[in-house]
Amino acid sequence: MTITRSQDKTDHLKVLGKGGQTEYQLDGPHAGILETFPNNYPQRPYIVSVEFPEYTSLCPMTGQPDFGTIVVEYIPKDRIVESKSIKLYFFAYRNHQSFMETIANTMLEDFVEALAPLWCRVKGLFSPRGATTLHVFAEQFDTSSDNIDEIKAIVSEWKQEQNRHSS
């Protein structure tokens, strides 16, 4: 059997470690946890969507756990985020105290810092607490992009498609 490899450049990735060892410590969330690799298709706008249904963090007032699903959607420019580093990034929130609105916006800032994407949206779909469901959507466009109108049209179509599937 012949093993083949893609053109993905992964030699610089460190969070995954070698042989099951990781260099990452769960010392709190920050953009540095998010490792990236080159986008092999920068000429083609496409959407990457990552859903993490096991999100947990702590309420800053009560210390009680908050649960939810985090969805990160983005149109890459030059970089893609490595999927295990995303998981480790979300795990770093487990003992982190913050309001849900702050979490979604902080995540957006961290992903934008790590990726410099053409567009990014973080959806925090938090589980009900006290009979109240809270969903937070934070997004940002790279308005300096030459093809910003095309990007906005792709995002609009993507959102409409997502709405059709959730109805």
Residues within the annotated binding site for substrate?
A: 81-83, 100-101
Q: Which residues are annotated as a binding site?
A: 81-83, 100-101
What amino acid occupies position 147? Answer: N
**132 C-beta neighbours (distance < 10 Å), count:** 7
- Catalytic residue at 110? no
Q: 11, 59, 110, 120: which is the annotated catalytic residue?
A: 59
Rounded alpha-carbon distances, angstroms, from residue 40 to 8, 9, 123: 7, 9, 26
Q: 8, 11, 27, 66: which is the annotated catalytic residue?
A: 66
- Catalytic residue at 66? yes
Q: Where are the beta strands (DSSP E) in the chain?
A: 36-38, 48-58, 65-75, 79-81, 119-126, 135-141
Just list the catalytic residues. 59, 66
